[in-house]
């Protein structure tokens, strides 16, 4: 039986540090040189007591501290989303996600692992080990953001579940409930939404299981209460509102592969040299950054979204045009 205990980091709206203060305090503390960025984040949200963001940098040196000044505003992050379970327009998730019930929440774990069963979010994610990771995020539609996520390495979750040698892939599913997710009335995708990673990809220290952003609890339109973040891949790999994790032996078929396999492959690595059949991937529009008269800033798309040093070795010998 799943016993729900209120999160120690559940905040009232009045307790939440504003985005402007969050950024200005970070800059002040870092400029003063008196402590690390992780410690600064802990001070900015004092109400997070037992679930503070770690008082040290993330678990690898590529956790995005150099991107702190480029962060997309919280308003843009919350209001411009792809979450087809609530509709196909970018504003639909913010307008309609209030119907999602995230408490209580359980995740089913099955397949080739030693610890299958039903888990609460607190069972899967150690809130005492939370870190802030500032990552570039790139959408296949050629727009991008810089988002300060709160979470733990996906490898920590996987190690807790103890996959066996037969587990070659990890497979995720999103909730199916047409009352809570009204966009599922439309058969845009064959529900539930499914996504997967090869096990070595999932164990890479950049991949995280996120439960928050901007130092606060993950919003419903951004995938509450639990979502995956894989910053070197296109955004559709970052499955939201996860209710099932499966360890499987054969490469799974993801939702977009099932819908349009000629446009969306299993790997979905950001690759500016491979155009989508309907548009180029060579440049991207950074949401919230403007240039000229009302125009969004455009910049060159980076191979692996700029994370090649950390992940390129995962694909040695692979044809990245065929394995897109």
Interval 194-225: pLDDT, tens: 999 999 999 999 999 999 999 889 999 999 99
Can you give the pTM of this predicted structure?
0.83
Between vectors from CA 268 to CA 262 and to CA 273, what angle results, nearest 5°?
80
In the block, residue with structure tokens 């299958």: 116
Structure tokens at 49: 């007591």
pLDDT of 33 reads: 37
Tell me which of 3.90.76.10, 3.20.20.450, 3.90.420.10, 3.40.50.720 is the CATH number of domain 51-259. 3.90.420.10
What pLDDT score does 34 carry? 30
Other CB atoms within 10 Å distance of the CB of residue 85: 28
**Span 113-125, pLDDT tens digits:** 999 999 999 999 9
Strand partners, 269: 233
d(CA 114, CA 134): 32
Q: Percent of the chain scored above 70 by pLDDT?
A: 81
Q: At what angle do helices 37-44 and 19-32 cross, to 10 degrees?
A: 140
Instruction: Give the model's pLDDT for residue 59.
Output: 72
**Residue with more model confidence, 231 or 216:** 231
pLDDT in tens, 34-91: 333 333 333 233 233 233 434 346 777 888 999 999 999 999 999 999 999 999 999 9
Task: Enumerate the domain spans of the chain.
Answer: 51-259
pLDDT beyond 80 at 19: no
Say how many residues make up the chain. 324
Contact 162, 109 (CB under 8 A): no
């Amino acid at each position: 039986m799943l016993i729900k205990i209120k999160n120690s980091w559940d905040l009232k709206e009045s307790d939440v540090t504003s985005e402007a203060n969050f950024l200005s305090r970070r800059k002040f503390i870092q400029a003063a040189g008196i402590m690390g960025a992780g410690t600064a984040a802990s001070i900015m949200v004092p109400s997070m007591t037992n679930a503070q963001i770690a008082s040290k940098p993330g678990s690898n040196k590529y956790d995005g501290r150099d991107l702190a000044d480029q962060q997309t505003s919280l308003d843009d992050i919350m209001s411009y989303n792809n979450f087809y379970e609530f509709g196909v327009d970018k504003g639909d998730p913010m307008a309609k996600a209030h119907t999602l019930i995230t408490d209580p929440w359980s995740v089913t774990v099955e397949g080739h692992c030693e610890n299958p069963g039903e888990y609460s979010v607190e069972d899967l994610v150690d809130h005492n080990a939370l870190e802030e990771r500032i990552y570039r995020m790139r959408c296949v539609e050629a727009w991008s953001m810089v988002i300060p996520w709160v979470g733990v390495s996906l490898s920590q979750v996987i190690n807790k579940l103890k996959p066996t040698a037969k587990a070659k892939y990890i497979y995720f599913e999103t909730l199916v409930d047409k009352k809570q997710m009204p966009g599922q009335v439309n058969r845009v995708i064959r529900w539930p939404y499914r996504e997967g990673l090869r096990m070595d990809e999932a164990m890479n220290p950049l991949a995280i299981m996120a439960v928050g952003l901007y130092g606060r609890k993950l919003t419903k339109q951004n995938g509450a209460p639990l979502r995956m973040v894989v910053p070197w891949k296109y955004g559709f790999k970052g499955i939201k509102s996860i209710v099932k994790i499966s360890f499987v032996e054969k490469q799974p078929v993801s939702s977009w592969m099932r819908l349009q396999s000629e446009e969306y492959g299993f790997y979905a690595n950001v690759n500016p040299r491979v155009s989508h059949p309907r548009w180029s991937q060579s440049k991207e529009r950074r949401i919230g950054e403007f240039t000229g008269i009302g125009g969004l800033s455009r910049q060159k798309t980076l191979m692996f979204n700029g994370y090649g040093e950390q992940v390129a070795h995962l694909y040695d010998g692979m044809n990245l045009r065929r394995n897109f």
